[in-house]
Amino acid sequence: MENHGHQVQPAVTILVIDNDYAVRNSLKFSLELKGFGVRVYADGGASLDDADLPADGCLVVDQVLPGMSGLDVIDALRLRGSSMPAVLMTSTASDI
């Protein structure tokens, strides 16, 4: 990709997995302002169903999700060979 004769590196993609609409979209907005590519998912299943996940990037995952926990999502991605670093979020320490 070029931009006025300068080589532009593609943005790192961050996958935000959170069932709270406001959290998903505020993280997306904030991260995109910093130049990151962002994909958002409302639950773990939606992220696991994405056949075009990036090979590298970063996961930002809510621990409390409908259907499967954030740790379960990270574990499932690890079993598929993903080595993306992961940030696990929770609203209270008792959620873990």
Please identify which residue in the block is written with the tokens 């992961």.
Answer: 86
Sorted by where each begins, the domain ranges of the chain are 1-11+26-47
Instruction: Report the predicted TM-score, pTM, of the whole model to 2 decimal places.
Output: 0.83
Tens of pLDDT, residue by residue over 13-56, are 999 999 999 999 999 999 999 999 999 999 999 999 998 888 88
Give pLDDT, residue 95. 52
Tens of pLDDT, residue by residue over 72-96, are 999 999 999 999 999 999 876 555 5
For the chain, give me the number of helices (H) and strands (E)? 3, 6
Amino acid identity at 69: S
DSSP 41-69: ESSHHHHHH-TT--SS-EEEEESS-SSS-
Determine the 3-state secondary structure of 16 from DSSP.
strand
CB 52, CB 27: distance < 8 Å: no
Give pLDDT, residue 69. 95
Give pLDDT, residue 6. 61
Give pLDDT, residue 50. 92
